[in-house]
Structure 1
Amino acid sequence: MKKAPTGILPILSVDRRSPLPLYRQIYEGYREAIVDRRLRAGERLPSTRSLATELGISRIPILGAFEQLLAEGYFESRVGAGTFVAHSLPDEAPLPDARSTSRSTAGRPGRRVLSEASAVLGDGITPEPWHGGWGAFRVSQPAVDHFPFQVWSALLARHSRNPTRSLLTYGDPMGHRPFREALAAYLRTSRAVRCEAEQIMVVSGSQQALELSARVLLDSRSPVWVEEPGYAGAKDVLTLAGARMVPVPVDDEGLDVSAGIERCPNARAVYVTPSHQYPLGGTLSASRRLQLLDWAQRSGAWILEDDYDSEYRYESLPVSALQGLDRDSRVIYIGTFSKVLFPALRIGYMVLPADLVPRFVRVRDAMDIFPPTLFQAALTDFLTEGHFARHLRKMRQLYRERRTTLVESLSKELGDTVRVLGAQAGMHLVAELPKRLRDRPLSERAAKEGIWAMPLSACYLEEASRQGLVLGYGGTEAARIPEAVRRLRKAFRTG
């Protein structure tokens, strides 16, 4: 039997001026020596008494460090023999990465295999220049400073002070039942959605609704129609799902269903924003709604209806949901409170065909079990006590004023240089540019002026057939809009 060597004193130092306790310095020093393989499996450690003498400190912090290392499995103790580096630890050090001199584990990576889908999206999130800050014309920015936070805080406090057991334990994968009942009543009366509480699944926003739908409805390489131009977030979800996206052009009547059938008659699904097309702002016409539903029934396709901000219309009453016309249960209706309340709330919902509920529940349970309950409870009261309806009326008036100011300012400052699209609804509009102007360089110059105008071309999968600026006005005060448009005009002149 190989004889264990005498206790080894590794290069170990302590700093009495460090805010880190002595026992922690000793613990981390030994752990790093073992991880770096400067101490190997089976090597004997010095006694705590000799180590205390060597370091010139009390035995107490050393005993604490050794006890922790024993508990975590780095050390092992043998009666009558002493303390050793655990035999169960690997003995060979990983080969260092020749491209890095870092002492961190990131400098010595092993083989790292990642999914092809994630590689398509790339690493991290690098904000485009037009997403560089909060301010004038940032898309999807609501007027959060006008939200009734005093009311909301009182509702949260009501449920937080003496919470029921149902708010603290594991919940229903579909969501908080009272909230779903209140939401079903709202959707039936205001959006003409055909639903019961049993069909509503609460999610963390429209992105999760799309992800769940992709997991349940699609296979790798399933063809899916997407609006062209359209919502980039939906395209990211479909990319991760491995779907094959089929861009279908959009015109003044919304999605061109005939073009979609010509391009891919057997698509598995279609992602559509019929009430307020994103980003051009049009409404899917009645004839095309019926044509889309008829195609879905004949082909067995699914319709993902994203109704992201339909509560805000300024020239007419809100347009009824496409789902309300569906007689074959082909539509998955998706909504969110991010635009009508505030984005950080992270509460959205989906109305599912009744026969799909069990499958969605099983997938949801595998993903994150159930949605957080406290905000749902507060939002239930917000709906049933009339606060939501009052807030919507107030915000419609506010956004109408901001929309009108923006349209007038664009006409005054830029005249015939731009053509306004989609100003009848929502929280943004499009300033279409003449073909001679490129929107991306213009957006980059505008960002230098503190104007966050998204280029329309960023919403295309294929080569953009239109150039324009997507201007959000929800989060910009009416009094600030004229000056912001003047700064935008400066970007036009410097191009």
Structure 2
Amino acid sequence: MRAEILAGRLPARARLPSTRAVAAELGVSRTTVVAAFDQLLAEGYLEGRAGSGTYVAPSLPDDMLGVRGVARSKVRASGGRRALSRRGEVMAATPTSVARDRGVPRAFRPGVPATQEFPFGAWRRLVGRVWRRPSVGLLGYGEPAGYGPLRREISAHLGPARAVRCGPEQVIVVSGSQQALDLCARVLLDPGDAVWVEEPGYRGARAALLGAGATLVPVPVDAEGLDVGVGIGRDPDARLACVTPSHQYPLGVTMSLARRLELLRWAGRSSAWILEDDYDSEYRYSGRPLEALQGLDTEGRVIYVGTFSKVLFPSLRLGYLIVPPDLVDAFTAARELSDRQPPGMEQAVLAHFMAEGHFARHVRRTRSLYAERQALLVEEAAKHLSGLLDVPPAGAGMHLVGRLPAGKDDREASRRAAGRGVEAPAISLYGKPSDGRGGLMLGYAAVDEAGIRQGVRRLAQALE
């Protein structure tokens, strides 16, 4: 107990279990435990409170604080990173996000939906319905690939909405897109395998690939998306290409049909895989949502990743993979090894939410809302950011990319914006744009009208 207190694992004011409980847990005489407690009380490590129990002392004597500091430094020196595997070293050193904090989002944090617009009433009623009479199956171990009714709803939604061709048996429910990326990397890649990644591109995908031991091959992104010709020139035998074709992250461009077909032809010739991350494709503001790359695939080379985090709310932690039929068993087994199964009750509620039309209605409402917020952001930027940041509109997504004048440091601009209370990640944090110009990501989905106006003015002050 003394060692635990000195190491900080028993923090100040922590309530200890009773001597009877400790004796039973350790399998020793209660007299032994009482003697130990008495000794620690006498030495000032513990304090007793009448009628309440025994607690770790709120402060330790000065000489004990010195001992504690020595003990911690020894732990760091003797353990630390040497205990990690090479893969563990890479994973520990690889960030997945550029967010400065994870609290309440401010203007203009990208990738966050308008959670205040969520239909809480409908969700609450469905939660009550599911919990009133939960089936034995929902409360026990479920299918590793996911709850059957939810898989059917996802399959039924993706056909008309995204032109994804799949049956429910091809749907693997996961804990968000990050787990989907991690599963793909571990199932499809061996250490050292080459993978095309977009430059600039999503850091979460890079982290998952590096964690699997892959060798990343950066491929530039231009106005038509990933430059397939450059990728072939750099490594024609790559095992996998990781792309965001519908709305490239972070630049926001859409991969042209010619590039999509070229990418599919390369994958067929090389027996390579394509990982299509369709993270915010529900939000397209001109015409119908573009068909997914998976819908053009005739050889079963595309693995499709989707998430509910951007449409509903991030803490739901539900996403999905659409895998070719011959990979279903392998991905299901890997999913089971990862964390056994997705949470059953949340899946059941979401299945009802989709089946009763709430999901489609919510998408329509937020699509209209986000279009209005984007238009306001563009309008305010034209008024207050002229000559400082060029913010053109976009036909899809939940963020815009503002470009700085040539030669300006976007990381410095981002730091100065943060000093004014504005979150605007630098594009260069995701890789080097092909034109070399720096820029800032401006998420607008979670920011109301007043927040957009105030955020633009603060950003202008920072950039000036």
- Fold equivalence (TM over 0.5): yes
Identify unmatched segments of 5+ residues in structure 1.
1-16, 32-43, 58-97
* 2:322 aligned with 1:351: yes
SS in 2 for 1:320: coil
Residue 101 of structure 1, aligned match among 32, 53, 70? 70
Distance in 1 between residues matched to 2:185 and 2:329, nearest whole Å? 16
TM-score between both structures, scaled by the size of structure 1: 0.79
Which residue pairs with 2:221 in the alignment? 250
Distance in 2 between residues matched to 1:122 and 1:277, nearest whole Å? 26
Mean Cα deviation higher: 335-344 or 156-165: 156-165
* 2:218 aligned with 1:222: no
Change (3 A) 1:359 1:20: closer
Larger radius of gyration: 1
Change (3 A) 1:229 1:126: closer
* 2:244 aligned with 1:273: yes
* 2:85 aligned with 1:115: yes
Distance in 1 between residues matched to 2:99 and 2:155, nearest whole Å? 40
After superposition, residues 444-463 of structure 1 pair within 5 angstroms as: 444-460=415-431
SS in 2 for 1:290: helix
Contact 2:130 2:345 in 1 (8 A): yes
Change (3 A) 1:416 1:365: same
Contact 1:130 1:443 in 2 (8 A): no
SS in 1 for 2:342: coil
Change (3 A) 1:233 1:422: farther
* 2:290 aligned with 1:319: yes
CA positional deviation for 1:483 = 1.7
Distance in 2 between residues matched to 1:274 and 1:325, nearest whole Å? 12
CA positional deviation for 1:147 = 0.2
* 2:349 aligned with 1:366: no
Change (3 A) 1:387 1:105: farther
After superposition, residues 133-172 of structure 1 pair within 5 angstroms as: 134-172=105-143
1:116 maps to amino acid:
R
Identify unmatched segments of 5+ residues in structure 2.
1-12, 42-66
2:421 maps to amino acid:
G
Distance in 2 between residues matched to 1:412 and 1:276, nearest whole Å? 27
Which residue pairs with 1:8 in the alignment? none
After superposition, residues 192-211 of structure 1 pair within 5 angstroms as: 192-211=163-182
CA positional deviation for 1:479 = 2.5
1:347 maps to amino acid:
L
Change (3 A) 1:103 1:453: closer
Distance in 2 between residues matched to 1:21 and 1:292, nearest whole Å? 62
Which residue pairs with 1:491 in the alignment? 462
Contact 2:97 2:204 in 1 (8 A): no
SS in 2 for 1:470: strand
Distance in 1 between residues matched to 2:145 and 2:154, nearest whole Å? 13
* 2:272 aligned with 1:294: no
Distance in 1 between residues matched to 2:30 and 2:356, nearest whole Å? 71
Change (3 A) 1:372 1:47: closer
Distance in 1 between residues matched to 2:335 and 2:30, nearest whole Å? 53
After superposition, residues 297-312 of structure 1 pair within 5 angstroms as: 297-312=268-283
* 2:397 aligned with 1:426: yes
Which residue pairs with 1:477 in the alignment? 448
**1:366-387 Cα distance to aligned partner (Å, 9 max, x none):** 2212111111111111111110
Change (3 A) 1:169 1:110: same
Mean Cα deviation higher: 460-469 or 279-288: 460-469
Distance in 2 between residues matched to 1:180 and 1:390, nearest whole Å? 19
Distance in 2 between residues matched to 1:368 and 1:126, nearest whole Å? 20
SS in 2 for 1:102: helix
SS in 1 for 2:343: coil
Contact 1:281 1:421 in 2 (8 A): no
Contact 1:305 1:334 in 2 (8 A): yes
CA RMSD in angstroms comes to: 3.1
Which residue pairs with 1:23 in the alignment? 19
CA positional deviation for 1:465 = 2.4
**1:283-316 Cα distance to aligned partner (Å, 9 max, x none):** 1101111111001000000000000000101122
Contact 1:174 1:200 in 2 (8 A): yes
2:351 maps to amino acid:
T
TM-score between both structures, scaled by the size of structure 2: 0.84
SS in 1 for 2:385: helix
SS in 2 for 1:246: strand
SS in 1 for 2:71: coil
2:301 maps to amino acid:
R
1:120 maps to amino acid:
V
CA positional deviation for 1:110 = 5.6
Distance in 1 between residues matched to 2:31 and 2:99, nearest whole Å? 60
Mean Cα deviation higher: 411-420 or 438-447: 411-420
Distance in 2 between residues matched to 1:370 and 1:162, nearest whole Å? 21
Mean Cα deviation higher: 418-427 or 341-350: 418-427
CA positional deviation for 1:420 = 2.7
**1:88-136 Cα distance to aligned partner (Å, 9 max, x none):** xxxxxxxxxx996227994785685202223234469798674475211
Change (3 A) 1:105 1:167: farther
Change (3 A) 1:107 1:486: closer
CA positional deviation for 1:418 = 2.4
Distance in 2 between residues matched to 1:453 and 1:231, nearest whole Å? 16
SS in 2 for 1:226: strand
Contact 1:130 1:444 in 2 (8 A): no
Contact 1:221 1:243 in 2 (8 A): yes
Which residue pairs with 1:41 in the alignment? none
Which residue pairs with 2:64 in the alignment? none
Which residue pairs with 1:85 in the alignment? none
2:349 maps to amino acid:
A
2:227 maps to amino acid:
D
CA positional deviation for 1:18 = 10
Which residue pairs with 1:66 in the alignment? none
SS in 2 for 1:174: coil
SS in 2 for 1:349: strand
Change (3 A) 1:25 1:341: closer
Which residue pairs with 2:377 in the alignment? 406
CA positional deviation for 1:441 = 1.0
SS in 2 for 1:350: strand
